[in-house]
Amino acid sequence: MTYAGAIRYLEAFVNYENMPAWPYKQSLKLERFREFLAGLGDPQHQLRCIHVAGTKGKGSTCVFIAHILREAGFKVGLYTSPHLVDFRERIRVLDNRHYGSSPEADFEGMISRRSLAGLVERIRPYIMRFNASSKNGNLSFFEVYTALAFLYFLHRKIDFAVLETGLGGRLDATNTARPLVCVITPISYEHSDKLGNTLKEIAFEKAGIIKKDAVVISAPQAPEAENVIRERCLKMRARLYRAGQDFHYRHKNSRFQIVGPFGSHRDLSINLMGEHQMVNAAVAVSAVEALCLAGIGVSRFSLKEGLYRAVWPGRCEVIMRNPLVVLDGAQNRASAAVLKETVSRNFKYHSLILVLGISKDKDISGVCAELHGLAGKVILTRADNPRASTPRELARYFMDKDIFITDNVREARRVALALAGKDDLVLVCGSLFVVGEFRSDRA
């Protein structure tokens, strides 16, 4: 099978990432995916995993964890979603033997086209037989791709797999793993039509990754979410360590320190921008240190170097200067508020030009309310995705601004660079799909 053929095959599966509305509980059937994996020999049970769920900072936390473990000499599988440009970004293997040698340095270690095509060809006959006989419906794109990740990690003989949940957690395909450590990043409102209209309901879905006798690391949470996590840990007899209570971080300018039950670390620094990334880093450090409960130790040097070397494109990423162009995947109100604060604290500019596109199922009014005050001019656009809102749907939130309506991200990029002076800032956000398209069109 060729790589192009493999992509066509994968794209033929139902992909909920491209659908604005679908029945959550009726569509995601964990028993279906467990049955499928059993036929493959349960590869997920042969991996040592760290599992990460939450609303904000999941991907960043995964990247910090993976880089720390890589610095410690381990071979690390990293599974994240969605991708910015290429499916292959989702499945990566990091190890010190090939440090920095990848021609695709932004997503170092991502699965090769040959390996992906080979894996698809290998399991395609089993998928066809399974779907033909399944009583729980056909497999989805995310389920098939998660199975490919498990098989690839097993083939590469990784030491650890760091898994980011796709949607929610309880019914997510990644929840078939048996993690050494479960991580819950900050929980806020998202996908309310699927996960619930309250933080309690959303936290219930996220906390569904917590397994019996697990070790759980939690970022700071709103009281409603923290109560759910604590109750789930009590029910599952899991050991819970909470940021701000069981471990703490303090920062001064770009340096910070972490004090917790597993040790203290000073003079730490990261290259990901924003105070929220220091929170993600503190959670990641605590997750790695919690491995000591399983007899796995990581040196202070590896922790420090791993944090500093971590790279995560599309998250407050500067891709151009003169004018300054910043990309961020902020797509809910909480993330937009964090982005607004980060931009205000870290950049100096004459005027800000906002390039914005948002998916239909997101909190459009909330995101726009947070970003409204930043913008001098607003360029509204849409990603090449069925979930995308039309620019005219977004326009009513910026009626007092200079608005430019564009049909696609490439046009929005052209308009933004034409409008921007050398002292201006172009901020591209609202959707990782928009960010990915803007980023891939760099000159």
Angle at which helix 409-419 crosses helix 432-440, to 10 degrees, equals: 70
pLDDT, average across residues 28-41: 96
Give the number of other Cβ atoms within 10 Å of residue 261's Cβ.
12
Is the pLDDT at 44 greater than 80? The verdict is yes
Considering only 122-136, 256-270, 410-424, which range has the smallest mean pLDDT? Answer: 256-270
CA 26 – CA 136 distance, rounded (Å) = 10
> Cβ(386)–Cβ(17) under 8 Å?
no
Instruction: Write down the pLDDT at residue 19.
Output: 87
> Cβ(426)–Cβ(353) under 8 Å?
yes
pTM of the model: 0.95
CATH node for 3-309: 3.40.1190.10
For residue 206, name the pLDDT band (cuts at 50, 70, 90).
very high
pLDDT, average across residues 61-76: 98
Nearest alpha-carbon partner for 413 in 357, 364, 370, 361: 357
| Tally: H helices and E strands in the chain | 16, 16
pLDDT, average across residues 405-409: 97
Instruction: Write down the pLDDT at residue 104.
Output: 54
> Cβ(29)–Cβ(137) under 8 Å?
yes
Residue 21 class from Cβ within 10 Å (0-12 exposed, 13-18 middle, 19+ buried)? exposed
Instruction: Write down the pLDDT at residue 101.
Output: 43
CA 261 – CA 248 distance, rounded (Å) = 10
> Cβ(367)–Cβ(397) under 8 Å?
no
Considering only 67-71, 95-99, 380-384, 437-441, which range has the smallest mean pLDDT? Answer: 95-99
Is the pLDDT at 250 greater than 80? The verdict is yes
**Strand ranges (E), 253-314:** 255-260, 263-268
Instruction: Write down the pLDDT at residue 281.
Output: 96
Is the pLDDT at 202 greater than 90? The verdict is yes
For residue 78, name the pLDDT band (cuts at 50, 70, 90).
very high
CATH 3.90.190.20 placement within the chain = 317-440
**With pLDDT > 90 as the criterion, what percentage of the chain qualifies?**
89
CATH 3.40.1190.10 placement within the chain = 3-309
pLDDT, average across residues 88-109: 77
> Cβ(323)–Cβ(422) under 8 Å?
yes
Instruction: Write down the pLDDT at residue 103.
Output: 45
Instruction: Write down the pLDDT at residue 106.
Output: 77
Considering only 11-25, 169-183, 347-361, 383-397, which range has the smallest mean pLDDT? Answer: 11-25
**What average pLDDT is seen over the chain?**
94
Does residue 263 come out as left (phi exceeding 0), alpha (psi in the -120 to 50 range) or beta?
left
Instruction: Write down the pLDDT at residue 96.
Output: 81
Instruction: Write down the pLDDT at residue 442.
Output: 60
pLDDT, average across residues 178-187: 97
pLDDT, average across residues 246-262: 88
Q: Give the CATH architecture of domain 317-440.
A: Alpha-Beta Complex (3.90)
